[in-house]
Amino acid sequence: MKFVHIADMHFDSPFVNLSNKEMLGDIRRLDQRKIFKKVITYIKENDIPFLFISGDLYEHKYIKYSTIQYIDNLFQEIPNTQIYISPGNHDPYLKNSYYEQFKWSKNVHIFNSKLEKVSTQDADIYGYGFNDFYCNDCGIEKLEIENPGKLNIAVIHGDLNSSNTEEKQYNPISTKILKDKGFDYVAMGHIHKPTYKDEPNQRIVYPGSTISQGFDELGEHGMIVGEVTKNNIHLELIPLDEKAFVEKQMDVTDILSREELIEKINQENYPETEFIKIILTGFRHFEIDIYKIYQFIESNQIIKIKDKTKPYYDLEKIKNDSTLKGMFAKEILEKLQNPVLSEEEKEILEKSIEIAFEALQ
Contact 107, 176 (CB under 8 A): no
DSSP state for residue 209 in the 8-state scheme = B
Domain ranges in the chain?
A: 2-239, 244-359
Cα dihedral 101→65→87→9 (10° resolution): 170
In which band, very low, low, confident or very high, does the pLDDT at 352 lie, cut at 50, 70 and 90? confident
Average pLDDT in the 110-126 region? 95
pTM of the model: 0.85
Q: What are phi and psi of 101, to 5 degrees?
A: -90, -25
CA 81 to centroid of chain Cα atoms: 27
CB-CB contact of 86 with 155 (8 Å): yes
Q: Residue 25: its pLDDT value, please? A: 86
**pLDDT at residue 358 tops 90:** no
pLDDT per residue as tens digits for the range 241-299: 999 999 999 999 999 999 999 999 999 988 889 999 999 999 898 889 998 998 999 88
CB of 205 closer than 8 Å to CB of 195: yes
Q: Which is more confident, 107 or 341?
A: 107
pLDDT at 39: 98
- Quote the pLDDT of residue 139: 82
48-62, 159-173, 189-203, 269-283: least confidently modelled range? 159-173
Please give the mean pLDDT across all residues of the chain: 91
Q: What share of the chain in percent tops pLDDT 70?
A: 96
Q: Which residue from 221, 214, 219, 222 is spatially nearest to 275, judged by alpha carbons?
A: 214
| Of residues 245 and 356, more confidently modeled | 245
State the Cα–Cα distance between residues 301 and 94, nearest whole angstrom.
38
Amino acid at position 306, single letter? K
Q: Could you give the CA distance from residue 87 to residue 131 in angstroms, rounded to a whole number? A: 8
Residue 341 sits at φ, ψ, to 5 deg, of -70, 130
- 309 three-class SS: coil
Asked if residue 211 lies in contact with residue 241, where contact means CB atoms within 8 angstroms, the answer is yes
Closest CA to 353 of 297, 298, 301, 315: 315
Dihedral sign of CA atoms 239, 41, 17, 13 in order: negative
In terms of average pLDDT, the best of 17-26, 212-221, 259-268 is 259-268
Whole-angstrom distance, CA of residue 29 vs CA of residue 34: 9
> Residue 208: pLDDT above 70?
yes
**What is the spatial distance between Cα 188 and Cα 219, in angstroms, rounded to a whole number?**
19
Separation CA 231–CA 281 (nearest Å): 51
Angle at 276 between CA 273 and CA 282, to 5 degrees: 150
pLDDT value at 84 more than 90: yes
Residues 84, 125 contacting (CB under 8 angstroms): yes
- Can you name the CATH fold of 2-239? Purple Acid Phosphatase; chain A, domain 2 (3.60.21)
The predicted model gives 326-337 an average pLDDT of 85
